Structure 1
Amino acid sequence: MIEDNPDDVIIVEDALKEGGGRATLSLETADCLSTGLKILERGDIDAVILDLKLPDSTGETTILKTRAAAPAVPIVVLTGTDDEGMAVESIQKGTHDYLVKGKVDGPGLVRALHFAMVRQRCQIEMEQIRILERMVDLGRLAAGVANEINNAVSGVVGMAELLRRGQGRGNELEIVIQEGHRISQIARNLIQYTRPDAPATGDIDVAEFIAKTLDMARPHLMLHRIKLETSVAKDLPAIQINELHAQQILLNLILNGCDAMPDGGQIEIEAGRRNEFVRFVISDSGPGIPEDLLPKIFDPFYSTKPRIPSFGLGLSVVAGLVRSCGGRIRAANRPEGGAVFTVHLPIGPVPATPLRSKPRVLDAAPSHLSILVVDDEPHVRDVCKRYLERIGNRVVEAGGVAEAMQCLLAEPFDVVLCDRYLQDQDGLVLYETLKERGRLEATRFVLMSGVSSDEPELAFPRLTKPFSFEELGHVIRRVGSGAARGRNKFDSPRAAR
């Protein structure tokens, strides 16, 4: 319990004894938010009773800091402010209940804590189920994705072989670059799809999310001789939903249609506005769904495809995702044969028209910087070194954290360009070293990774591989223009002590 009023703490202690019954409840208290957050760091707290008027924090900020410190721990607000608007905002910010002091008895408080813990546990379990179902989806896509990647790789290797033999016609390098970007996009789509859900919904562009989903599904459709027809209305408003949920809904319905047509067929996707919703219609030319089974189609663990490896929750998860954002879903049979799923997803608020600004002319990337490139892939280091030296910088290479530390002790650098996942250590070790020794002003840090970053709180630029020279130059421009030229070497470990 995070509460600065000792009398309120005593009242809650007595209430928990009164309402706890046979349940064993122990109360640990903190009289300010900072102390409470330190307790939460231990990881052994099951629930938080939170006051919103503390000596070091009040209101919404208190909720956000507590939620950030322990995202998996349910929070029950217990405050003296009886304000319906604040209660709604509190729930929207991630608390599980909003109780007013003096208006809740012991059993009521215990029930609120119990329900909060049960809801949190259910949310975590449903999140795990959604991820497992997405992994099943990817398993079903695997053969088509492998075929797509191998086709692209064959083009890259073939064009490189022609160049090595001197049989090029002038466009081989462009083809190699295009196929490389194609492989990269396939990988990025798959990585994004398997991530845990972001907690908040957003305004999702309909055409863009459909295109991303079809990029994942298309190899599977081609491999199984499924023809795809799409009809997406122009200028559709954004839908209000988590982007991964939107992709999971559409992809699962597409795969469901594929499973119904093992010998090939056709899937049609339509999208258009219907009042305050965007309506999606996904139909197939398969055998359809027996009429007596239609009422059960969205039940958990029910499937019309017993041969398909799954957790039996595919369409049930889809229905849950649709309803969780205020949408609707319906399954039916087409008169001409085949199944049809109709999904209504709510549209988001109309965005304000942005003010036009003059295009910004970017200065040339700064030269004469001293740059340390840290990567365990020699070819990546070589490409970065060649480009950065060509624009006038001095570049030193390191193959891992240990070698980079030796370089940093030997001489100063303006920029450290470091891969995240190195063979010897995590690349963030270098960042922490720069931070501990007060060198983040003199030496700017840039992180590279083959996986799109899911750590937005890290306060430095990041590059997702593969990146273009333009992207690399843009990042060097940003960090290089502000790099302080403190030319002192790193303190040695002995001197640092």
Structure 2
Amino acid sequence: MKTKNELLKERLQFIAEIAHEIRIPLAGIISFSELLLTPNLDRGKIIIYSNYINTCSSSLLELLNNLIIRSKLESQDGIVVNGILDLNLFLDESTKHFKMQSELSNTSLSTVYGLKGDASMIITDSLKLNVILNNLIGNAIKFTKKGKIKIGYLKRQNYLEFYVEDSGIGIPNEVKKNIFKPFYQVKNKVNSSGLGLSVTKSLVELLGGDIWFNSKQNIGTKFSFTIPYKQIIME
């Protein structure tokens, strides 16, 4: 059992980390917004500054979304709300906007379905599954500037195993043990709050599954996770 002082110290450290993570993209948004007000600014610089503002805004939104999810989990509001889900259709919808992003970075994104027809009709919490996939696919695109990303799932006994595989920069061996820790970031990785994987792990475990990864530097990374397979019997 932690003492009040230990809990207070952890809370203050957490607040300091949040403030630091918010300040970085916010400072970028303010700075480049001011630069856009420069008189007679040429179109090339307008595009560069606007893209940077968009990147910082996306990073800030990702951080805030993950903070909201984490706070709900810690306050025990992380309740699983199951519903009927067409898994293949869900995967199509979840990856649609990522395919547009990948095209901009000359990265191919493919989807592999492990089940067909009625077998892909399952019961799960679609919102939580969507957050998990968004975080993993978003990371794959972020750190794969050129190459390929494969997203898919397969059935193994009474559970489904999902995977997001990329040919990106990979994860150094010396930091692999820390990768799921809150606010942990691999050195030199930009536009990452370091909170996404921590939240992802918590959500996977909340759904009753496990998450792991295999990675080699300059070759790529494959994140895998499981959820129980609860099939809808169609009459």
What TM-score do you get using the length of structure 1 for normalisation? 0.30
Deviation at 1:307, TM superposition (A): 4.8
Post-superposition Cα deviations, 1:58-111, rounded to whole Å, max 9, x if no partner, equal: xxxxxxxxxxxxxxxxxxxxxxxxxxxxxxxxxxxxxxxxxxxxxxxxxxxxxx
Q: Which residue of 183, 188, 199 maps to 1:301?
A: 183
2:144 matches 1:261: yes
CA separation of 1:311/1:223 partners in 2, compared to 1, >3 Å: closer, same or farther?
Answer: same
Paired with 1:307 and 1:293, the residues of 2 have a C-alpha distance of: 13
Q: Does 1:231 align with 2:116?
A: no
What residue in structure 2 maps to residue 208 of structure 1?
89
CA contact (8 A) 1:240 1:325 kept: no
Distance 2:94 2:173 in 1: 29
Q: Structure 1's 337 and 202: CA in aligned 2 closer, same or farther, altered over 3 A? A: same
Instruction: Call closer, same or farther: CA 1:203–1:311 in 2, change over 3 Å.
Output: same
User: Aligned equivalents of 1:202 and 1:225: distance in 2?
Assistant: 36
Amino-acid identity (%): 29
234-243 or 326-335: which moved more?
Answer: 234-243
Q: Find the partner of 1:326 among 200, 204, 208.
A: 208
CA–CA distance in structure 2, aligned partners of residues 244 and 337 of structure 1 = 31
Alignment of 1:41-60 (within 5 A): none
> Where does residue 340 of structure 1 map in the other structure?
222
Structure with more relative contact order (C-alpha pairs < 8 Å, separation 6 or more): 2
SS at match of 1:309: coil
Taking the aligned partners of 1:202 and 1:338, their CA distance within structure 2 comes to 34
- Aligned 1:31-430 pairs, distance under 5 A: 200-235=81-116, 236-262=119-145, 264-304=146-186, 307-333=189-215, 337-348=219-230, 350-354=231-235
Shift of 1:219: 1.4
- Secondary structure of the structure 2 residue equivalent to 1:227: strand
Q: Deviations over 1:303-322 (max 9, x none)?
A: 22655334421011111110
Aligned length: 161
CA–CA distance in 2 between the matches of 1:199 and 1:271?
Answer: 21
- Once residues 272 and 335 of structure 1 are traced to their aligned partners in structure 2, the CA distance between those partners, rounded to angstroms, is 26
Seen in structure 2, the aligned counterparts of structure 1 residues 351 and 259 have a Cα distance that, compared at 3 Å, is closer
- Tell me which protein shows more helix as a share of its residues: 2
Separation in structure 1 between the aligned mates of residue 229 and residue 81 of structure 2, nearest angstrom: 15
Contact 1:268 1:283 in 2 (8 A): yes
